Chains A and B, each alone.
Chain A
Amino acid sequence: MSLDILLQHLANGISQGSLYALIAIGYTMVYGILRLINFAHGEIFMMATYFAFFGIATFGMPWYVVFILAILLTGLLGMSAERVAYRPLRDAPKISILISAIGVSYLIQNLAIVLFSGRPKAFPQIEFFTRMFTVGNVRIQALTIVIPIVTAVLLAVLIYLINHTKNGIAMRAVAKDHETAKLMGIDVNKTIALTFGIGSMLAAVGGIMWGLKFPNILPTMGIMPGLKCFIAAVLGGIGSISGAVIGGFILGLGEILLVAFFQNLTGYRDAFAFVLLILILLFKPTGIMGEKISEKV
C-alpha cells in the first residue's frame, strides 16, 4: 500500500471516527446524568437527517439555514422524548425507563416509516461539501476535512461549557447526586433536559454530515450507527465524554483500516464493533477512560 493511499484511508477513518464520536457523546452524557442507555438516540440521529432532507428537498431553503433549523428541531425532539417518556419514570425501577427508551426508539422508527415511507431517499448533494481537493497525490472530498473540523470545534465548545459554565457545573453535580444538587438550588429537571438537548443536537450534526457522506437515507438508518456509537461509548468508558470521543475514533479508524488492510474482510466491517465490545467487556468492563471513584463513607 502506498503512502498516499494510506493517508487517504487515515483521513476517511478520522472522518468516520468523528461522526461516531459526535453520536457517542449523546449516549455518554445521558448515561452520566440518568444512568440510562438512551436506546432512542440512533432514531434521534436519523430524524435529524430527515429534517435536513425535507428542509432542502421539499422547502428549498438554503442549506446552512436548514442545518441550523434541523439541529434545533432535533434538540427539541430529544428533550420531548425525555419529558414524555423518561421523566415520569425517573423514580421507577431502572428497567422501566430502559424499556421506555426501547419503546421510544421503535415508535420514532415506525413513525418515520409511515410518514417518510420505508424507501430510501437521496440526501441532497451540496457543492460546498462534495468538492474534491487534491493534496499532493491524494484526492480528498471537502467533506472529509469538514467533518473532523466541525467535530473538533463542537468538542471544544462542549468541553468549555461543561467545565467552565454554571450550567456545566450543574450538569456534573446532577450526574453525581440528584438530591444534593436540588439542595444547592439546581433545577434538576432543567439540567437533565439541557443534557438531552445538547446530546441530541450533537447527534443531529452527526446525522446531517452522515447524510452528506452516505446520501442514501432510510428510517432504519439509525440502528447500526446507534449500536456502534453505544459500543464506542462503552469502549471509552460510558459516562466519560473524552472516553466517548476516544471510543468513536478507535471504532471509526479501526473499521476503515481493517477493510483497507484486509480486503477480504470487507464483509466483516460491521462485526468489528461487536468484537471490540466483547473484548472490552471481557478485559476492561469499565472502558478505557472508565474510572472508579472511591467514595468515602
Chain B
Amino acid sequence: MLKIKDLVVAYGGIEALKGISLEVNENKIITLVGANGAGKSTTLRSIVGLVKPKQGSIEFEGKNLLSIQTKDLVRMGITLVPEGRRVFANLTVLENLKLGAFYRKDEKEIKKDMDWVYELFPRLKERTWQTAGTLSGGEQQMLAIGRALMSKPKLLMMDEPSLGLAPIIVKELFEIIKGIHKQGVTILLIEQNANAALHIADQGYIMETGRITLTGTGRELLVNEDVKKAYLGESVHK
C-alpha cells in the first residue's frame, strides 16, 4: 500500500534520513522503533509532505506522493496523528473532531464515525464542549486519534501516541489501536514503547540515526538479542 524507497532527507546540510526503504502492506500494523533523533518523525513528515526529501520515492497505492500537497493527502486516505498531539487548543472537542472530517460531505457517515469515536473514547463524549486546550494530556491524545479517525483513513500513522500517558492508559490505548485495526485500517505506528508496539505489530522496523538497521515480524524482533539490549532494556532481566 505504501512504499518508501531510498529516502534521503536533509535539514540544512545534515542528513536526518540516509536512504531508508520500507513497506506498509494493507491491513497490517507496522511499527517503527528507534532512539531519539533516529529520524522516525522525519519519515512520517516526509510521507505527508511536510518535509521535502532530497532523494528517493514515496508511493501510495501506486501514486507518487511527492507530487501531492499535504492538504490533499487526507482525501486519499492518509492520516497522521502528529508528534505532540497538536490538537487545536482554541477549538472545542467537537470542532476538533469535525475538522478531522473537514473534506467529507457524507453527513450521515460522519455522524456514524463520530459515534464510533465516542464509543472508543467515552471521555471525549463527556467533554464535547470543552476547549481542547483545557483537556488533560491523555485526553488530548485521545482527541488527536479521534480526530484522525474522523477522516475515515485507510492508512493511519501515529507518532508516539503513548507519550506521557499513564501505563494503564497506554495498555488501553494499544487495545484501542488493535480495535481500529480490526475495522480494516492499516496502521503505521511509531513508538518509544518498543515492547508494546512490537507485540501488536505484524512487521517492525528498527531505525538508528537515519538508517533502518533491522526488520522482521514483531515476534522476531522481540526475541532478537540486539533489540532486547537496545530497546527492551527491562525485559532482559525478566
**A contact set with B: CB distance below 8 Å:** 166, 169-170, 172-173, 175-177, 179-188, 293-297
Task: Give a binary string over B71-113; 1 marks a CB under 8 Å from any A CB, 0 the rest.
Answer: 1111100011010111011110001001110110000000000
**Contact between chains at B72 and A180 (CB < 8 Å):** no
**B contact set with A: CB distance below 8 Å:** 48, 50, 69-75, 79-80, 82, 84-86, 88-91, 95, 98-100, 102-103, 133, 136-137, 140, 147, 151
Residues of B within 8 Å of A180, CB to CB, are 82, 86, 88
**Contact between chains at B88 and A172 (CB < 8 Å):** yes
Give the CA-CA distance A184 to B152 in the complex, in Å: 12
Q: Taking the nearest CB of chain A, how far is it from the CB of B138, in angstroms? A: 10
A297 with B86, Cβ < 8 A, contacts A176-B91, A184-B99 known: no
**Contact between chains at A176 and B137 (CB < 8 Å):** no
Task: Give the residue name and chain of the A residue nearest to B136 (CB).
Answer: A296
Residues of B within 8 Å of A169, CB to CB, are 91, 95, 98-99
**Contact between chains at B71 and A294 (CB < 8 Å):** no
Q: Which of B71, B91, B136 contacts A186 (CB 8 A)?
A: B71
Give the CA-CA distance A163 to B136 in the complex, in Å: 24
**Contact between chains at B103 and A185 (CB < 8 Å):** yes
Q: Taking the nearest CB of chain A, how far is it from the CB of B82, in angstroms? A: 6
**Contact between chains at B102 and A184 (CB < 8 Å):** yes
Q: What are 21 A-B pairs with beta-carbon distances under 8 A?
A: A166-B102, A169-B91, A172-B91, A173-B91, A176-B90, A177-B86, A180-B86, A182-B69, A182-B70, A182-B71, A183-B48, A183-B79, A184-B99, A184-B102, A185-B72, A185-B73, A185-B75, A185-B151, A293-B133, A294-B133, A296-B85
Residues of A within 8 Å of B84, CB to CB, are 297
A188 with B71, Cβ < 8 A, contacts A169-B99, A296-B140 known: yes
Residues of A within 8 Å of B74, CB to CB, are 183-185
List 5 additional A-B contacts (Cβ < 8 Å) besides A183-B48, A184-B102, A185-B73.
A176-B88, A183-B82, A185-B72, A185-B102, A296-B136
**Contact between chains at B151 and A177 (CB < 8 Å):** no
Residues of A within 8 Å of B95, CB to CB, are 169, 172
Give the CA-CA distance A293 to B102 in the complex, in Å: 24
**Contact between chains at A295 and B133 (CB < 8 Å):** yes
Give the CA-CA distance A185 to B73 in the complex, in Å: 7
Give the CA-CA distance A177 to B84 in the complex, in Å: 13
Q: Taking the nearest CB of chain B, how far is it from the CB of A172, in angstroms? A: 6
Residues of A within 8 Å of B151, CB to CB, are 184-185
Give the CA-CA distance A182 to B98 in the complex, in Å: 14
Q: Taking the nearest CB of chain A, how far is it from the CB of B121, in angstroms? A: 17
Residues of A within 8 Å of B103, CB to CB, are 184-185
Task: Give the residue name and chain of the A residue nearest to B89 (CB).
Answer: A293
Give the CA-CA distance A173 to B101 in the complex, in Å: 13
Residues of A within 8 Å of B80, CB to CB, are 183
Task: Give the residue name and chain of the A residue nearest to B85 (CB).
Answer: A296
Residues of B within 8 Å of A297, CB to CB, are 84
8 pairs of A and B residues whose beta carbons are closest in the complex: A185-B103, A185-B74, A182-B70, A180-B86, A184-B99, A182-B71, A176-B88, A184-B102
Give the CA-CA distance A161 to B72 in the complex, in Å: 24
Most buried by B among A173, A176, A183, A184: A183
Residues of A within 8 Å of B137, CB to CB, are 296
**Contact between chains at B82 and A179 (CB < 8 Å):** yes
Task: Give the residue name and chain of the A residue nearest to B74 (CB).
Answer: A185
Most buried by A among B50, B71, B137: B71
Residues of B within 8 Å of A185, CB to CB, are 71-75, 102-103, 151
A176 with B102, Cβ < 8 A, contacts A185-B71, A185-B74 known: no
Residues of B within 8 Å of A184, CB to CB, are 74, 99-100, 102-103, 147, 151
Residues of A within 8 Å of B69, CB to CB, are 182
Give the CA-CA distance A137 to B194 in the complex, in Å: 81
Task: Give the residue name and chain of the A residue nearest to B79 (CB).
Answer: A183
Give the CA-CA distance A17 to B235 in the complex, in Å: 68
Q: Taking the nearest CB of chain A, how far is it from the CB of B167, in angstroms? A: 19
Task: Give the residue name and chain of the A residue nearest to B45 (CB).
Answer: A179
Residues of A within 8 Å of B100, CB to CB, are 184
Q: Taking the nearest CB of chain A, how far is it from the CB of B153, in angstroms? A: 11
Residues of A within 8 Å of B133, CB to CB, are 293-296
Give the CA-CA distance A164 to B61 in the complex, in Å: 36
Task: Give the residue name and chain of the B residue nearest to A175 (CB).
Answer: B90
**Contact between chains at A173 and B88 (CB < 8 Å):** yes
Give the CA-CA distance A98 to B29 in the complex, in Å: 46
Give the CA-CA distance A187 to B98 in the complex, in Å: 16
